[in-house]
Amino acid sequence: MCGVFGIWGHEEAANLTYLGLHALQHRGQESAGIVTSHQGTLYSHRQMALVADAFSAEDLAKLPGTSAIGHVRYSTAGGSYLKNAQPLFVSYQGGQLGVAHNGNLVNAQALKDELEQNGAIFQSDSDSEVLIHLIARSKAPSFHGRVVEALKRVEGAYSVLFLTQKQLIAARDPHGFRPLVLGRLRGAWVLASESCALDLIEAELVRELEPGEVVVIDDTGLSSHKPLPAPKRLGRCIFEHVYFARPDSVLFGTSVYEVRKQMGRQLAKEQPAQADLVIAVPDSGVPAAIGYSQASGIPYDVGLVRSHYVGRTFIEPQQSIRHFGVKLKLSPVRQVLRGKRVVVVDDSIVRGTTSRKIVKMLRAAGATEVHLRISSPPTKWPCYYGIDTPSRQELIAASHSTEEIARYVTADSLGYISLEGLNAAVGDPSGETYCNACFSGDYPTGIGMERKAESLQRETAAKVVNGTNEVAPPAVEPEPPAVLPLTAKRAQA
Ligand code: AMP
């Protein structure tokens, strides 16, 4: 997952991009970068850091020009190194080019193999570089033509910005996996992954780019093109609404906050609980917890507070760091929890380690019962389109029932929203315009379905090797018995 931002026609292009990236920081925290264009030359600055640390006033002053693109990254394809930080920036026979990409190209490896056989040398291991090689090799007469030729060859998810000395081009893949919005700031055009970036710089939201749309902006104005064949179905990422996007954004035409609250209301209907209060796992669980409280009539309170000085722990690539991070990030409010039966609402369970720590934390702070409610269905399948989900072996719901997961996380009860309920909450009851493959295994692209088949084959082979019908349980951290609360011991027995 990453965030992209672009601007055309503003004196303060670099500064505004810097601000836009701040608003998109939740989409990636490993690296940040800006490329600007000024009088026929591109300027670039990238760093492995949060936006606030990646650019000093001097760095920004060295990024002149009235157009810019920017990027915040966390790695889904390719390692976490500066060489993979974006915007990628190259010189080729067509001129200079900056590229900022959000999403994963599912056929990147096949294209990379083919390009390397034909002599291409890759500088990074990010899938986005494939786009640059395809553009450089295209024989199309215009840059716009080269971009379209390249996009016709790639499959998967992309919301991507290209900046040259003369043009800014924005494109969204035909499935529309990742968001991308167009805005206006006085005379300037602005592009951003989420509308919250437009709000910060006081730009007006014009519209979302349509799936498969390519927008070309230059000194003659803006033109919109639909050169890519339409797929059988759309694949807007439902997990953006569940977790990833900021609640103050308007995403895929709907308010993220309203959708999350509706998920909570639906969850309360589907998974009621006898409890004294509803609390959220902040920040992502807050709107759904409010919705749950409203629909159930159980009062909402703040039972967990979050430290805002640590990043999103899940994003840290190493498991050991993430485990430590849960304690760093969340603290219980004893005065609220003591002696209470608590419903705790979170957006998702991936490996189960976060929930397990939270349940323990709530009990240790005096909660008498902990009922865990999740505003998305069980996460059973990896994402190939840009969300950082681990392999199926690590997804606890891929191999465990809800009852087993409840036992593992030591909750008194566990309830997930249904897929139908989630589809209704995002306003797509038929589930036809969203990708919900992480919950359903129904991947909207052929390559996604192929990868699913391969992973199922591997699982079957592993079962044969183990001589059992059971899929091996996910690797779980051993629990020191001394810190287990009584109820948890009972649940485990
Ligand atoms: P886990 O401990 O693996 O079950 O992680 C679950 C927690 O991670 C939940 O509280 C989610 O809010 C968060 N989460 C789920 N998916 C992602 C993701 N792709 N990136 C970052 N955080 C996530």
Q: What's the pLDDT at 491?
A: 29
Q: Give tens-digit pLDDT for 124-183.
A: 888 999 999 999 999 999 999 999 999 999 999 999 999 999 999 999 999 999 999 999
Cα dihedral 285, 288, 290, 294, rounded to 10, equals -160
Q: What's the pLDDT at 460?
A: 82
CATH number at 206 reads 3.60.20.10
Do the domain assignments include residue 473? yes
Q: What are phi and psi of 46, to 5 degrees?
A: -140, 150
Do the domain assignments include residue 387? yes
Question: Are 223 and 262 members of one domain?
Answer: no
Question: Are 306 and 219 members of one domain?
Answer: no
Question: Are 47 and 135 members of one domain?
Answer: yes
Mean pLDDT (whole number) for 191-219: 98
Of 216, 231, 246, the residue that ends a domain is: 231
351 lines ligand 1 (CB under 6 A): yes
Q: Please provide the distance, in angstroms rounded to a whole number, between the alpha carbons at the two ends of the chain.
A: 40
315 lines ligand 1 (CB under 6 A): yes
Peptide bond into 283 cis (omega under 30): yes
Do the domain assignments include residue 247? no
Cα–Cα distance between 246 and 237 in angstroms, integer? 14
Cα–Cα distance between 123 and 425 in angstroms, integer? 43
Q: Give tens-digit pLDDT for 256-270.
A: 999 999 999 999 999
Q: What's the pLDDT at 481?
A: 33
Cα–Cα distance between 358 and 353 in angstroms, integer? 9
Q: What's the pLDDT at 323?
A: 54
DSSP letter assigned to residue 27? G
CA angle 26, 3, 418 (to 5 degrees): 65
Of 192, 214, 231, the residue that ends a domain is: 231
Q: Are 330 and 281 in contact (CB under 8 A)?
A: yes
Cα–Cα distance between 190 and 204 in angstroms, integer? 9
Question: Are 124 and 175 members of one domain?
Answer: yes
pLDDT at 448 over 90: no
Closest ligand 1 atom to Cα of 396 = 4
Question: Are 118 and 210 members of one domain?
Answer: yes
Distance 389 CA to ligand 1 centre (A): 8
| Catalytic residue IDs | 2
Sequence-distant (≥ 6) Cβ neighbours of residue 400 within 8 angstroms: 408, 473, 474
Q: Are 87 and 46 in contact (CB under 8 A)?
A: yes
- How many CA within 13 A on the CB side of residue 257? 6
Question: Are 216 and 281 members of one domain?
Answer: no
Mean pLDDT (whole number) for 374-401: 94
DSSP letter assigned to residue 474? P
Cα–Cα distance between 355 and 374 in angstroms, integer? 10
Q: What's the pLDDT at 447?
A: 84
Cα–Cα distance between 259 and 288 in angstroms, integer? 9
The structural domain count of the chain equals: 2
What's the whole-number average pLDDT of the chain? 91
Do the domain assignments include residue 246? no
**Band (100; pLDDT cuts 50, 70, 90):** very high
Q: What's the pLDDT at 47?
A: 96
Q: What are phi and psi of 97, to 5 degrees?
A: -150, 135
Locate tokens 């083919």: which residue?
A: 114
**Band (461; pLDDT cuts 50, 70, 90):** confident
Structure tokens at 3: 């965030």
Cα–Cα distance between 250 and 181 in angstroms, integer? 9
**Band (253; pLDDT cuts 50, 70, 90):** very high
Question: Are 210 and 70 members of one domain?
Answer: yes
| Mutate-to-test residue for ligand 1 from 263, 348, 395, highest number of ligand atoms within 8 A of CB | 348
**Band (478; pLDDT cuts 50, 70, 90):** very low
Of 180, 198, 231, the residue that ends a domain is: 231
Q: What's the pLDDT at 490?
A: 28
Cα–Cα distance between 128 and 160 in angstroms, integer? 9
Mean pLDDT (whole number) for 431-450: 93
Structure tokens at 74: 């966390």
354 lines ligand 1 (CB under 6 A): yes
Distance 40 CA to ligand 1 centre (A): 43
Do the domain assignments include residue 249? no
Beta strands in 154-267 (DSSP E): 159-163, 168-172, 181-185, 188-192, 204-208, 214-218, 221-225, 236-237, 250-251, 254-255
Question: Are 61 and 17 members of one domain?
Answer: yes
353 lines ligand 1 (CB under 6 A): yes
Question: Which is it for strands 236-237 and 221-225: parallel, antiparallel or unpaired?
Answer: unpaired
Sequence-distant (≥ 6) Cβ neighbours of residue 430 within 8 angstroms: 423
Sequence-distant (≥ 6) Cβ neighbours of residue 25 within 8 angstroms: 3, 50, 51, 72
Cα–Cα distance between 253 and 258 in angstroms, integer? 12
312 lines ligand 1 (CB under 6 A): yes
Peptide bond into 87 cis (omega under 30): yes
Distance 258 CA to ligand 1 centre (A): 21
Find the domain containing 447 and state its range. 256-492
Strand partners, 170: 161, 215
243 lines ligand 1 (CB under 6 A): yes
Question: Are 267 and 195 members of one domain?
Answer: no
Question: Are 147 and 294 members of one domain?
Answer: no
Of the candidates 453, 460, 355, 443, the residue with the CA atom closest to the CA atom of residue 407: 355
Cα–Cα distance between 68 and 8 in angstroms, integer? 7
Q: Give tens-digit pLDDT for 341-384.
A: 999 999 999 999 999 999 999 999 999 999 999 999 999 999 99
Mean pLDDT (whole number) for 33-37: 98
Q: What DSSP assignment string belongs to 375-441?
A: SS----S--SSS-----GGG-HHHH--HHHHHHHHT-SEEEE--HHHHHHHTT-TT--SEE-HHHH-
Of the candidates 144, 210, 125, 140, the residue with the CA atom closest to the CA atom of residue 173: 210
Do the domain assignments include residue 237? no
Q: Are 385 and 237 in contact (CB under 8 A)?
A: yes
CATH number at 484 reads 3.40.50.2020
Question: Are 208 and 326 members of one domain?
Answer: no
Q: What's the pLDDT at 273?
A: 98
Do the domain assignments include residue 185? yes
Q: What's the pLDDT at 318?
A: 54
Share of the chain above pLDDT 90, in %: 81
Closest ligand 1 atom to Cα of 352 = 4
Question: Are 171 and 287 members of one domain?
Answer: no
Do the domain assignments include residue 280? yes
pLDDT at 493 over 80: no
pLDDT at 463 over 80: no
If one compares 78 and 421, the residue with the highest pLDDT of the two is 421
Q: Are 168 and 219 in contact (CB under 8 A)?
A: no
**Band (390; pLDDT cuts 50, 70, 90):** confident
